[in-house]
Every structure is written in C-alpha cells, then in structure tokens.
Amino acid sequence: DTGEVDDYAAIVRADAEAQLAADNQGGAAGARRGGRGYYATKGKHTQSDAALASLDLASADTVRELQGRIVVGHQNERQALHVALERNFPRWWQLLQSEFTLLLYGFGSKKALLDEFANNFLDDGGVCVINGFYPALTLKELLTHAAAAMTPESATERLTSLSNEKLLARIAAATCPQQYHQQQKREQLRQQQQATAAEGESAAAAAGAPSAAL
C-alpha cells in the first residue's frame, strides 16, 4: 500500500530531523571559537570498542511495528529461491559428513534456511547455534561454552584450562559417543603398537650390546 509506505517514510524523516536538530544544538553549545584546529582533526585514530547495546536504539516493539509497515517485494521469487536451496540439503549433509564446511553468503539473513536444514538433516548429534556479532569472540570461548552445555556443572569450572583439542574431544564424546569411543579405541591400539615396537627395539639393542668387562 502506497499510503503505508508514505507513513513509514514520514516517521523515518521525522526521526532523522529530530536527531539532526539535537546534534546541532549539542554542537553549538560545545563549539569553540575558531572551530577545530588542524591537530584536532588530524589526531590519533583509535579503534572503537563500542557495542551495539551501548547505542540509543528503538525498542523491540517499535522496530517490529515499523517492520510490519514495510512492503516486502518479490515474494514469489524469494519462495522459489528458498525451494531451490532446499534441494541442496542432501548435498550439504554429504559435504558435512566428509568433514567439509558450508558458507552461505549473499544479501539477507540465512538463519531460517539454516534452521530448517539443521532440523531436517542434523538430527544425529548436537547442534550449537552461535550468533557471531561480537568482535571480541574467540574460538576458545565458543568451544568452552559448547562443552559446558554438555558437561555436568561440577566439571565446567575446569573447562577454561583445557586446550582446544580436549574441548573438541569432550564435545565429540557428548554428541557422537559411538564414533568417539571407536576413535579412542583406535588411538589406544596405535599407542600400544608403538609402545610394543619401542620395547622390541630396546630389547634388540640390549641383546646386541657387548658385555661389560669385569
């Protein structure tokens, strides 16, 4: 509806004009005579650590109300693209089983599509959903939180001291216990074979060594 679009544009324009007026008023009150100097404008640049939560944003109800007024176009094309991507789900699952990763890119959120893929094809283990909007987020924090969600509370306090490999092992043990135990057995067998080979080499070296003179 053209009327709803005009109403939304008027709301956005009014908010922008109010914000501009507030900025101009604050700038006039704090302006110095002669304006900003060269060194003030060419000073050292520092990286900002401001977070989205520190901004004066509209409430969730206001955002939902404004979004409800936006006319979403190309509904048929969007639905056709979604159906076409759904046909790739078996191929995506095969790639993940072959230890590849998936990267979806392009305009628009892919969350609904990924949720649908996870619900239909990733039902044989745990699924960890991470909203990666935090610049300071590290791999260690992700693994620690994922392992903590699958570990008894008495053991979570020791997770931060574990290496990434051990955290991955805990996650694998909780999500795919059968595969994890098979891998552990293979690793134990390999270590036993190495120990047996080392003992045989030591015994052969001792047998071939000359006896010490008395």
* DSSP of 42-94: T---------GGGS-PPPHHHHHHHHHHSPPP-HHHHHHHHHHHHTTHHHHHH
Residues of the chain above pLDDT 90, percent = 14
**How much is the pLDDT for 129?**
81
Q: Is 178 helix (H, G, I), strand (E, B) or coil?
A: helix
The residue ranking higher by pLDDT, 134 or 77, is: 77
- pLDDT grade for 132, boundaries at 50, 70 and 90: confident
- pLDDT grade for 33, boundaries at 50, 70 and 90: very low
pLDDT at 83 over 70: yes
Q: Are 89 and 121 in contact (CB under 8 A)?
A: yes
The residue ranking higher by pLDDT, 208 or 156, is: 208
**How much is the pLDDT for 14?**
78
pLDDT at 9 over 50: yes
Q: Are 92 and 117 in contact (CB under 8 A)?
A: yes
Query: Once rounded to an integer, what is the mean pLDDT over residues 79-85?
Result: 91
The residue ranking higher by pLDDT, 100 or 128, is: 100
Query: Once rounded to an integer, what is the mean pLDDT over residues 55-67?
Result: 80
Question: What are the boundaries of each domain within the chain?
Answer: 1-26+61-71, 73-123, 129-199
Q: Among 33-37, 50-54, 172-176, 192-196, which stretch is predicted with the lowest mean pLDDT?
A: 33-37
Q: How far is CA 177 from the centre of its chain?
A: 24
**How much is the pLDDT for 65?**
85
Rounded distance between C-alpha atoms, residue 185 and residue 173, angstroms: 13
**How much is the pLDDT for 133?**
72
Residues 6 or more apart whose Cβ sits within 8 Å of residue 142: 128, 130
